[in-house]
Structure 1
Amino acid sequence: MTGASDKARFYLEQSVPELQELERKKIFTKAEITSIAKKRSDFEHKLNARGSQPSDYARYAEYEMNLESLRRKRARRLGVKATEHAGQRRIFFVLDRATKKFHGDLALWMQYIEYARKQKAHKKLNQAFRSVLRLHPTRPELWIYAAKYALEVEGDMMEARSYMQRGLRFCKRSKDLWVEYAKLEMIYIAKIVGRRRILGLDENRTQTPQADMADNPDADIVKLPKITAEDINPDLAQDDSVDQAALQNLNSTPALSGAIPIAVFDAAMKQFPADDLLGERFFDMIVGFEGVPSSKKIAEHIVDTLSASMPTNPLVASCYIWQPVAGVRATSPDFPRGLGVALDRLDSSAQRIYPRFALLRRTIDRLMSFLGVQELDPDIRKVLLVTLKSTLGQLQMELEHKTGENGDEVAEVIEKLRSNGLHHFVESKMAWALRIWGKNTRLLTLQGTGAILAQDGDANK
């Protein structure tokens, strides 16, 4: 006990100059300084005694974080300059001791990492990543976190890939890691595409002003020729064909063509052959990257691969149906054409896929996601609503004959319809569901919630 007390006293003595400075600059009062010293003494004695727990370190670090936040606010308000790094250094000191003593506690490591990230202490953060990954190499969430940080904060795609590839050596059976690796590559592609659009590198540079006028002979405005740096200084002129060739080569690189996400998907499916849920996760992830040119190519590859091994699987059929609108914004001019193809595929697939329940559920979810777009064309909205009504009718028939159905599935559908504001569908489906599963708790709760919402609506009229 004496050794623990001596160690606690030693650590407390190190903070005396800092407390004296805070009192001298009137950031804290004498009574507050006494309270801070007592609180630190309690924490230090608890940490240095036998039987200390990870939660003791976590609370101590949290206390110091709150104290540092208060110190900064008061110093800013008083216009006083105080030692900026003393508080941060003390917090890291507590967290360093915590992770050394309880290196198996991931919560402490995450507290350390989150604080270092918030403080933009990149050196400390990289040290923490190296340590925690060395100690816990089989935790896929840590590899994912480190890779995302490398790309999103540091902008280092090579480092991000390195984290993912090293993680897969230890966690090759982690489906999350495979999907997140492909997602990371898609984020990188989206960033490059976005930058190229800002710089105008994705435009057709061979098009001339005369060609623009030929496309619109009735234009009322005469376009003037554009003056470029080459027109003023001919020495700057370059062969445009070379630039065009360079841009074409850039488009065909694996980084932009989608070859890397495709390779990740193929490797994942070798690890998990005939895994329809994993294939669907890859497809849904790719669909989320709207406006990325390679999304369509990647989605086609996913659908072709899944269809070859599982042609009658309802989840694969769902991916096949919606592949024509993969990566296409619902407000894009290309969307109506793709939607038409998708609806044709829906009609044909619904007749050959059995059981149809999973296919119908995913169709309803996809239709509701499109209907949630605010700027959606009114005519397209009408088509989607008609399709949704038909699909709900088919789902109703499936549920009535589904063995073991207790009403939870339809309750989940009704919840989604209500959350998307499709109340005219909710009323009819609720009445039908209560006739069959009148004792289902979720349905009764939804009915009560609906009555309350209706009363509130009437009161606001």
Structure 2
Amino acid sequence: MSDKARFYLEQSVPELQDLEKKGLFTKKEVKMIMRRWTEFEHRIMSRGSTPDDYLYYVRFEKNLEKLRKLRYQRMRSVIDTKKSISDYSASKRIRFIFDRGVRKFPNSMELWAQYLKYAKKNGSVKVVYKVYTRLLQLQPRNVNVWLSAAKYEYDYNKNVKSARNLLVRCLRFNGDELFPWLEFIKFELNYLSKLLIRRKLLNLITEKQQKDDLNEHEHSTNKDSLAQGVDVVQVSEGSEIEKDLSDLTDLNASTLGTVENNPVLRGDLILTMYDACLEALTNKLHDNINEGRYEVKFTKVWEISNKVIDIVDQFDALDRSHINGHIISDLMGKYPEIDKVVLLELTVPIRYTDVDDGDFATSLKSSVKMYQSWVSRTKASDTVKTSVKKMYINYLTQRYLSKCTGEQKELLELLLRKLQ
């Protein structure tokens, strides 16, 4: 047996003595526990050990602690219930096993995931912060870890500011990937949507009411926030991605007021993020668009825009027309003669309108007028015009015609014939 293994086992002797003294385990059972501990220590200390060996060790410890608690509850009327070492040592020992495991196998995400799961369920917030901090220091390019940390801050600690700062920091390391940008945008949309729904349901009109609500549901300041705990995770100053993120410094802006008088509540911060995302991911790409031919930059811009638009579509509590209208207008300004961009622009008035809505006819009329106006003033080629016409008619047919009945269907069929 190695000196380290012997040392670790010796540290556990007082706990076993306490379990036997309280009558929770017999002398024979205590010997069996020590024998199993010895086997596990030999296994994890060997050169051929794996992350699974540590997980098996932890599983044994959890089952042992579960058994101790069951016996304690069943025998509490006849044993000494005064708190002692055996009441506290199990969680400490399990964390110690995890600590040793992630030190030996720092790239084992299964070990880290199980460690975090255990810490969240049984440990203090500080323990969770410690684990996240170590993991982020080792794997700052792991987007899922940043997202997990931000989710913990938002869902468990109600610390929106810290969650947001973690996401910004994630982008400093991973801003050349689309996924973290989309997740950040989704986070902001989700937060804003929940905020507006809560205010509507509770009829929170005055700023005082809104402040009280924020104090109840959010912890905007927290000295022990996870975002502060990872200050050691930094990128070099003056990096290109740092410049791209400079516009995100005001993300913690006030959300007081109404949609009418506060641009933040309309989604302007989301638009700032979208613009920064577009700049970060496309600033080195170049356009080379010929008739019917799309090159690298447009392809990337189109991918980003459509994915953001699809995300925004899911949040009907927000002013989706305002947010997506900005994105589509930006696309139209850059690529006014590409058919699928034009189609997006023409369908803005009816994007969130169904045939059963009272304003369907008005919205459809507005869309058709936009189409007719585009046809009369566009400098696009005949090929593009023909393509837009076909796409627009197909859009109206597939989305609305099958849902219409009676007079409404006859009018729509008449309109489609006129457009052809």
Indicate whether the TM-score tops 0.5: yes
Instruction: Map 1:94-243 to 2 at 5 A.
Output: 94-202=97-205
Find out whether 1:299 has 2:324 as its counterpart.
Answer: yes
Number of the residue aligned with 2:387: 352
TM-aligned CA distance change 1:383 to 1:62, over 3 Å: farther
User: Residue deviations 1:63-86, cap 9 Å, x none?
Assistant: 323433444344445557574432
Q: Is the 8 A contact 1:8 1:48 kept in 2?
A: yes
Q: Is the 8 A contact 2:197 2:317 kept in 1?
A: no
Give the TM-score, by structure 1 length.
0.58
TM-aligned CA distance change 1:90 to 1:247, over 3 Å: closer
Q: CA deviation at 1:105?
A: 2.7
Find out whether 1:7 has 2:32 as its counterpart.
Answer: no
Decide which of 346, 359, 363 is 1:337's aligned counterpart: 359
Find out whether 1:53 has 2:50 as its counterpart.
Answer: yes
TM-aligned CA distance change 1:25 to 1:284, over 3 Å: farther
User: Residue deviations 1:374-398, cap 9 Å, x none?
Assistant: xxxxxx99549x99xxxxxxxxxxx
Query: Which consecutive unaligned segments of at least 5 residues does structure 2 have?
Result: 207-254, 283-297, 373-384, 410-420
Find out whether 1:43 has 2:74 as its counterpart.
Answer: no
TM-aligned CA distance change 1:174 to 1:64, over 3 Å: farther
Q: CA deviation at 1:14?
A: 2.0
User: What is the rounded CA distance, in whole Å, between the counterparts of 2:198 and 2:62 in structure 1?
Assistant: 38
Amino acid at match of 1:262: L
Amino acid at match of 2:302: D
Decide which of 297, 307, 312 is 1:281's aligned counterpart: 307
Amino acid at match of 2:48: G
Q: CA deviation at 1:50?
A: 2.6
Q: Is the 8 A contact 2:9 2:37 kept in 1?
A: yes
TM-aligned CA distance change 1:250 to 1:289, over 3 Å: closer
- Report the 3-state secondary structure (helix = DSSP H, G, I; strand = E; otherwise coil) of the residue aligned with 1:279: helix
Amino acid at match of 1:352: S
Q: CA deviation at 1:269?
A: 1.4
Amino acid at match of 2:10: E
User: What is the rounded CA distance, in whole Å, between the counterparts of 1:40 and 1:316 in structure 2?
Assistant: 69
Q: Is the 8 A contact 2:188 2:270 kept in 1?
A: yes
User: What is the rounded CA distance, in whole Å, between the counterparts of 1:381 and 1:25 in structure 2?
Assistant: 76
User: What is the rounded CA distance, in whole Å, between the counterparts of 1:174 and 1:77 in structure 2?
Assistant: 55
Q: Is the 8 A contact 1:299 1:323 kept in 2?
A: no
Amino acid at match of 1:337: D
Instruction: Map 1:397-412 to 2 at 5 A.
Output: none
TM-aligned CA distance change 1:269 to 1:249, over 3 Å: same
Query: Which consecutive unaligned segments of at least 5 residues does structure 1 have?
Result: 204-245, 368-379, 388-461
Q: CA deviation at 1:172?
A: 1.0
Number of the residue aligned with 1:262: 271
User: Residue deviations 1:149-198, cap 9 Å, x none?
Assistant: 11121111211121111111111112110011111111221232233234
Q: CA deviation at 1:112?
A: 1.5
User: Residue deviations 1:406-457, cap 9 Å, x none?
Assistant: xxxxxxxxxxxxxxxxxxxxxxxxxxxxxxxxxxxxxxxxxxxxxxxxxxxx
User: Residue deviations 1:134-160, cap 9 Å, x none?
Assistant: 111111111111112111211112111
TM-aligned CA distance change 1:68 to 1:276, over 3 Å: farther
Amino acid at match of 1:123: K
The answer to which structure, 1 or 2, has the higher relative contact order (CA under 8 A, 6+ apart) is: 2
User: What is the rounded CA distance, in whole Å, between the counterparts of 2:21 and 2:365 in structure 1?
Assistant: 75
- How many residues were matched structurally? 322
Q: Percent of aligned positions with the same letter in both sequences?
A: 31
Amino acid at match of 1:113: L
User: What is the rounded CA distance, in whole Å, between the counterparts of 2:139 and 2:304 in structure 1?
Assistant: 25
User: What is the rounded CA distance, in whole Å, between the counterparts of 1:94 and 1:47 in structure 2?
Assistant: 10
User: Residue deviations 1:36-89, cap 9 Å, x none?
Assistant: 332221111111233322222232223323433444344445557574432211
User: What is the rounded CA distance, in whole Å, between the counterparts of 1:304 and 1:171 in structure 2?
Assistant: 28
User: Residue deviations 1:259-313, cap 9 Å, x none?
Assistant: 2111111111123343323222211211222223x33321222222234445546
User: What is the rounded CA distance, in whole Å, between the counterparts of 2:359 and 2:69 in structure 1?
Assistant: 58
Q: Is the 8 A contact 1:148 1:184 kept in 2?
A: no
Decide which of 56, 59, 62 is 1:62's aligned counterpart: 59
TM-aligned CA distance change 1:334 to 1:162, over 3 Å: farther
TM-aligned CA distance change 1:262 to 1:338, over 3 Å: farther
Q: Is the 8 A contact 2:328 2:341 kept in 1?
A: no
Q: Is the 8 A contact 1:325 1:342 kept in 2?
A: no
TM-aligned CA distance change 1:71 to 1:255, over 3 Å: farther
User: What is the rounded CA distance, in whole Å, between the counterparts of 1:88 and 1:54 in structure 2?
Assistant: 19
User: What is the rounded CA distance, in whole Å, between the counterparts of 2:157 and 2:335 in structure 1?
Assistant: 41
